[in-house]
Structure 1
Amino acid sequence: MTRLVLSLLLILLTSTNSWSQEGNISVNVIQNGELIPAKDGIINLKSEEFTFEITAEHLTSFLIGITTTKELYTATLADYELQQPWFKSYAMADYPFNPNRELLLSDQAPNYWHFTSPEDHRFDHSPQGTNEHWTAKRTIRTLNDLHNKKTIPINEFKNSVYLYFYSPIYDDQYKLIKIKPLYSVELRFN
């Protein structure tokens, strides 16, 4: 009887932890109505408004480390020990429906983007789908540099922004045990 209870408990814990691993996203970057392809992990953009188009399967939320620090991004790509600040901090959530059209830049805390329903999300108005399969857009006009406490209009930005999308996987005590990388890219503005 004890073995049965322990086996059921193990199955429950395993299925809870692995649930986060099942979902996936597809990320497209659109500028001036055109899909801008990535080449060698880099998307070259004009210093103009652009839009993320995200399609998700079996994933209602994810975290994104967003930085202008190449060394942090490079270290994150190789971090199997979960030592980067993004993995140790609570996430920041922007306002619902993306009213400010901004990306929050932080070397310390990741962004939290989610879609629960068309009435509860962190994207532009009119996303489509259910929490099992959805597509949403997020338009970006400004960068909000939280460390330096300044907002930078995208048309004045001539540098790179590094993005690392991932799904955290926690144990029962809400301790991060691993991450599932979902997408990573350098957005290079010129």
Structure 2
Amino acid sequence: PAATSLSLSAIPMTAWSMPESMAQLFIKTEQAAAASSADHSGAHSTTTLSSPSSSPSNSPRPLKRGRPQQEIEDDAADAGSQRRKHRRLYAREYRAQMRKKVDEVETLRQTVDLLQRERVQSEARRLETDLKLAQMERALSESTQREAALSSLLTQFILTSMPQQQAVPITVPVTVSTSTS
């Protein structure tokens, strides 16, 4: 009886509020320690070290087993439910962030495409303007060359068609009509 009371009184009060599996482990450890000390002292009685649940008549009060199993299971289910809920919330937030990033990337791609098209169009307009300018310069150059060639031909024609003795410049008579009213 002394070993049983020593064993039960050695259990701290926190063991009473432990879950059942931990309390049983704690009690078994206490029993093993008491049994080893009883073996060393020469006591061969193991009936005094029996569990209070197996012999309720030996214990002054029943062993508290902590919270009821149903409550533990409910809490575990709630915790699992909470974890799933948090996981769903996190996944929802993560998907929303990813959708936002995908939208941002798509907007950036559209902006880049638009800028590239504008740059290509601007380059095309610049090339077209340069081409027109080159064509106008060529046309002006050709026109200047034709004018010079025509002037040269006209000068040759005039010089060859006029007799050498006549060195008088050609004068074109201009008639101005005067009208009388």
TM range (shorter): under 0.3
TM-score (norm 2): 0.17
Q: Which one has a bigger Cα radius of gyration?
A: 2
Q: From the two aligned structures, give the one with the greater strand fraction.
A: 1
Comparing both chains, which one has the higher relative contact order based on Cα–Cα distances under 8 Å and sequence gaps of 6 or more?
1
TM-score (norm 1): 0.16
Q: From the two aligned structures, give the one with the greater helix fraction.
A: 2
